Amino acid sequence: MTAAEMLERLVGFATVSRDSNLDLIAYVEGYLDEHGIEHWRVESDDGKKANLLARIGPEVGGGVVLSGHTDVVPVDGQPWSTDPFTLVDKGDGKLYGRGTCDMKGFIACALAELPEWLKRGLDKPIYLALSYDEEVGCIGAPRMIERLMADHPRPAAVIVGEPTLMQPVVAHKGATNLRTTVTGRASHSSQIDQGVSAIHVAARLVTKIEDVMSELRAEGRVDEAFNVAHSSLHVGKIAGGTAINIMARECTFEWEIRHLPGDRVEELLGRVNDYAAELEAEMQRRAPETSIVTEALNLTVPALADDNNAQVLDLCRELLGEQPSGAVAYATEAGQFQRVGLPTVICGPGSIRQAHQPDEYIEIEQLAAGTRFMQALGRRLGQ
């Protein structure tokens, strides 16, 4: 089976993060069973989703982990010209479908090459680490990493196959998603002194969140390796109020912090929380029942630092030829692997510019480049 044929099968599973990925996992398990490969499910608490860990080759240390997520982002409201969950070749050198570049293309390259790895025989194992819910906060990967470290000999390197045009990436920002709820006191809008508008207070706090970025730049807290050179804070959703003539009792907004490897998310959140405490005290002088509450929507996805990665970076360059390394603003499970001491880089086929877009695609040449990488990896670890 070619990588394109495998990709066609994987794209056909509509593994949007809000839905189950178990049909895709079952398909991959069946494929692994056909080839006599050991594998292990690591399920979510509710059993509706699962990670899949597989080992090709001997049960010895020093192997390479190929990590990829099975979930994709929604297609709702996007102007697709084709069925998003049917792989389409329009004859323009591209393969269209949701997840083609982000990141079922990488998984397809690995699975398609698996029979050749078996024929060659491996001195060191290749692990396939397929996770769920990466797109909503890298939720699934930590328990899979825990299982890997507890039950298997220690790997030497991890390659996370996010789309990088097959160039190694050595650093990415961390990510934290948050929800802030401002509770005010409702009143008739003609009696402005009787109420506390949750919307007005929220607006001041939203402005502060943006101001923190200016503070960081002024303090020189930048890393030019990133195209956005500072930690970023962004409010993506806001809702509040019931009518134009009622002072809003509640306003809720959802926001994120994407922090540089050298920054601490706790310190950045602390700046916002300190200002929120000032606003809350001001509110409560007028109405004691008012409040501002911020809660995390996910565990912080740790940043990937350009550190302790010489061995895996050298491996990538050996397999790919000399390539420049870089940094990216998006978050992946790479920082979670690095946190347990595994040398980790990101490298995969396709471009992040196509990810999450309508008519998402991967160039056929990029899929071929991913295949050549998998072939070279087999030769490197083979007998």
| Helix (H) or strand (E) segment spanning residue 235 | strand 232-240
pLDDT at 292 over 70: yes
Q: How large is the average pLDDT for residues 291-300?
A: 95
Is the C-alpha dihedral spanning 73, 79, 85, 88 positive or negative? negative
Is the CB of residue 22 less than 8 Å from the CB of residue 50? yes
pLDDT value of residue 325 = 85
Q: Could you report the per-residue pLDDT of 331-343, keeping only the tens digit for each?
A: 999 999 999 999 9
Joined together, the tokens standing for residue 303 give: 């940043």
Q: How large is the average pLDDT for residues 257-283?
A: 97
Q: Given pLDDT bands bounded at 50, 70 and 90, which one contains residue 324?
A: confident
How far is it, in rounded angstroms, from Cα 132 to Cα 137? 10
How far is it, in rounded angstroms, from Cα 347 to Cα 247? 51
Question: Does 71 participate in catalysis according to the annotation?
Answer: yes
Q: Given pLDDT bands bounded at 50, 70 and 90, which one contains residue 383?
A: low
CA triple 177-180-186, angle to 5 deg: 160
Q: Given pLDDT bands bounded at 50, 70 and 90, which one contains residue 329?
A: confident
State which amino acid sits at residue 161: G
How far is it, in rounded angstroms, from Cα 96 to Cα 363? 9
pLDDT at 50 over 80: yes
Q: How many Cα atoms within 13 Å fall on the side-chain side of residue 6?
A: 23
Residue in 71, 263, 333, 359 annotated catalytic = 71
* Alpha-helical regions (H) of the chain: 3-11, 22-34, 105-120, 141-151, 198-218, 265-286, 310-320, 334-339, 364-381
How far is it, in rounded angstroms, from Cα 122 to Cα 113? 13
pLDDT value of residue 223 = 93
Q: Residues with Cβ < 8 Å from 60, sequence gap 6 or more?
A: 124, 125, 153
86-120 burial: b if 16+ Cβ within 10 Å, else e = ebbeeeeebbbbbbbbbbbbbbbbbbbbbeebeeb
Q: Could you report the per-residue pLDDT of 197-231, keeping only the tens digit for each?
A: 999 999 999 999 999 999 999 999 999 999 899 99
Q: Which residue ranges form the domains of the chain, and what is each CATH number?
A: 3-171+303-381 (3.40.630.10), 174-296 (3.30.70.360)
Which one, of 373, 22, 335, 353, lies nearest residue 166 by Cα?
373
pLDDT at 133 over 70: yes
Joined together, the tokens standing for residue 12 give: 């056909």
Q: How large is the average pLDDT for residues 302-325?
A: 91
pLDDT at 5 over 80: yes
Q: Could you report the per-residue pLDDT of 89-128, keeping only the tens digit for each?
A: 999 999 999 999 999 999 999 999 999 999 999 999 999 9
Residue in 8, 29, 133, 134 annotated catalytic = 134
How far is it, in rounded angstroms, from Cα 97 to Cα 88? 7
Q: How many Cα atoms within 13 Å fall on the side-chain side of residue 17?
A: 16
Q: How large is the average pLDDT for residues 46-66?
A: 96
pLDDT at 177 over 90: yes
Question: Does 89 participate in catalysis according to the annotation?
Answer: no
How far is it, in rounded angstroms, from Cα 121 to Cα 381? 8
Torsions phi, psi for 365 (to 5 deg): -65, -35
